[in-house]
Amino acid sequence: MAANNTLSLRLVFEKDKLNGLNFLDWLCDLRIVLKQEQKLYVIEQQLPIKPSGNALGADRDAHKNRLDDMVDVGCLMLATMNPELQKQHEDMVAYDMIKHLKELYQGQARLSKLGFPLGQELATDVILQSFPDSYN
């Protein structure tokens, strides 16, 4: 039964892939899916340091499970991005992807929090202006 719930919630990503203009909606959908799958921590916390060789088996297993969740979430995130964003983020882990995406689209996020409606043209201008000069 849980697998069916997971599949049905992931369907929210079929409508639109992340393209930058829809970052806030995409992030909201991602958080809902990850919360349901009990993997939200993957984008909220960095992966802890690998346990030492003499660590308890339970600690090593927990770390391996976190690594597995990190890979699953990273693949989900990449699969829900447009090709350009996929190429930019394919070598990052999920936590770093979210951090980078928030940096890229922080202007969009700030205006949205203020309740300022963004049309597509204005959102594009805001996003382009938020890129560092090195992005050219």
The CA-based dihedral angle spanning residues 48, 52, 54, 55, taken in that order and rounded to the nearest 10 degrees: 0
pLDDT exceeds 50 at position 115: yes
Phi first, then psi, for residue 27 (nearest 5°) are -65, -40
Selected residue with higher pLDDT from 110 and 60: 60
Predicted confidence band of residue 117 (pLDDT cuts 50, 70, 90): low
Selected residue with higher pLDDT from 15 and 81: 81
Instruction: Write the DSSP string, 111-123.
Output: HHHTT----HHHH
Residue 134, exposed/middle/buried by CB under 10 A (0-12, 13-18, 19+)? exposed
Domains in the chain: how many in total?
Answer: 1
pLDDT digits (tens, 9 = 90+) for 34-93: 999 999 999 999 988 877 777 787 888 888 999 999 999 999 999 999 999 999 999 999
Q: pLDDT exceeding 70 applies to what percent of the chain?
A: 79
What is the rounded CA–CA span in Å between residue 131 and residue 136? 8
Domain range spanning residue 76?
2-135
